[in-house]
Structure formats: structure tokens, C-alpha cells
Amino acid sequence: MEKEKLYEQFKQLNFGEVLLDEPMKNHTSFKIGGPADIMIIPKREEDIVESIKFCRNNNIKYFVMGNGTNLLVKDSGIRGVVIKIGKDYDKIDVVDDRIICQSGALLSIVGKKALENSLTGFEFASGIPGTVGGAIAMNAGAYGGEMKDIVSKVQVLDKENNILELEKEQMNFRHRGSRVVDDELIVLAVEFQLKKGDYSIIEQEMKDLAYKRKSKQPLEYPSGGSVFKRPIGHYASKLIDDAGLKGLRFRDAQVSEKHCGFIINKGNATFEDVFTLIKTVQKVVRDKFDILLEPEIKIIGD
């Protein structure tokens, strides 16, 4: 189906905001990426479910994203439909020591809610960029904590269009992975189990972690976060540094001098700029240390 006709059809179906030829660089933290044929920004659970059902039933290629904080999108963009679960699907409720939120909620906002209600356990995640849905999919973590430590239930849409509620034990959480990835599930909502704590202690912990993050990571530049997975027994950033690659630049893409695990966009970096740098870093580290660095960021596009 032609994208213009598809665009008109989606507008009539009213699954949320519908955009045509939407530049992906406006929706990724790297600020890189060509146009998506169609982008849908759903407002309700049924918008997500029905838009995905429609794509599946009509054999239309689709991709579901959150805040785009770990995506590197090709300059040619994405054919088909991008369903962006974000700002319009981000309701957060606090019930006693639990926080129940829709998958488009930002972790930073959930962290603020936890603090407001003197709930402890979410501190490690309060500075992680991205949405709850993306964090659950990859079992996001920082500073000794991971999503698996605080999740109690996850509501998902499965490949047969069934809405399921999964307990933590059913999620197959592991380092930067989960059942969401294994079974191609779509996260709709999450329940976090936290504990009552002391407001001032929680606040201080969040401030300390925010300072650590700011002092050690190149947050002043667009990036996709840590580019490579941590190899067993090593740190990717140390291997890159030891290989003499700190500050290595290709056009407007650069290995950060502040944290070698990050590749930053110094201006108008393209997909090809960043991808060339990724390949170069992989080759040099493999040649020097016989270790293959695997990308942690997701590379997508057509």
C-alpha cells in the first residue's frame, strides 16, 4: 500500500497522532536518522493494540519504539510504520508502596513520583534516559540496580494480540535482556514494588547519582548511551581507551573523551559516520585484545 494512502487510512482509524515522512532524527537521542514512512503516537492502550493488530493483519512492517535513547537509525529512514509509545501514554499512579505506570512514562518522571511519595528502590533508575517500556525490554540498569530488582508485574501484548499480565518470575530478566525481546512482546504497563523510605535520604541518593552521571558521561552531546555491551571480565570503555581510541573522530562522530563507551554527535553526524566509527573501534579492539565488542545500541532502518 502506498504510504500516502496508508497515512490517510491511519488518520481515519484514529489510533492517535499520525505523521507522514517524519524525520527519525527528531525522535532519537543521537539526533540521527532519516524519515519514517508513517509514525503513530498513540494516546490509549487500545490505540497501541489496534494499530499493531492492523499492521499484523495487513502485513505492514512496523517498529515499536519508546524515547529513542538507544537507537541508531539509518539515513535512509524506516519503511512502514513506527509506533512511538511516549508522551501521550505516560500515566503514573501511586498505590501505597507500588507505582503503576503506562509504558511511555519516562524513568526520570517515575523517579520524581517515587521521591514525592518517599518510596525507595528506584534511585538507580531515576537518571536513566528513556521510557519504562524500553527499560523493561532491556532490563535497564545502573549503579548496581536493574529493572528486575523492582518490577512486580508487566502487562504486555503478545504476538497473537493477547494482553497478558506477567509476574516478574515469568519475565526471564537477564543482563540487558528479557522475555520482551525473546517473544517479541509489546510492553503496555508496569507495576514497580518499592519500599517506604526517608524523603531526604532518597533525594540525596538521587542527587549523588545524577552528579556521578553528569561528571562521567558526555551528557552535553547527543549520543545513544553506551554503544557496546560489557564483555565478560572486561569493560568496553577501558578496552577502547587502552586501544588508544579515546577522542577518535570520523567527520562529526567521535569516541567521547569523557567516557570511551560513548560515541557522540558533535554536530551533524550521519548514520554512516557513527557506523564507520563503530566498525573501526570493533576492529582495533579485536586486533589488539582478541575481544569482539558487541553493540548494545539497536541499529535499525532500511
Catalytic residues: 176, 226, 296
> What are the beta bridge partners of residue 157?
163, 186
C-alpha grid cell, residue 112: 520524581
CA distance 288 to 125: 34
Strands of the chain, DSSP E: 17-23, 35-41, 62-65, 71-73, 78-84, 92-95, 98-102, 119-120, 141-142, 145-146, 151-157, 163-167, 186-193, 195-196, 223-226, 249-250, 253-255, 262-265, 298-300
Task: Report helix, strand or coil for 194.
Answer: coil
CA distance 24 to 183: 26
Q: Exposure of 103 by Cβ count < 10 A (0-12 exposed, 13-18 middle, 19+ buried)? A: buried
CA distance 186 to 85: 10
DSSP string, 54-103: HHHHTT--EEEESS-TTEEE-TT-EEEEEEE--TTS--EEEETTEEEEET
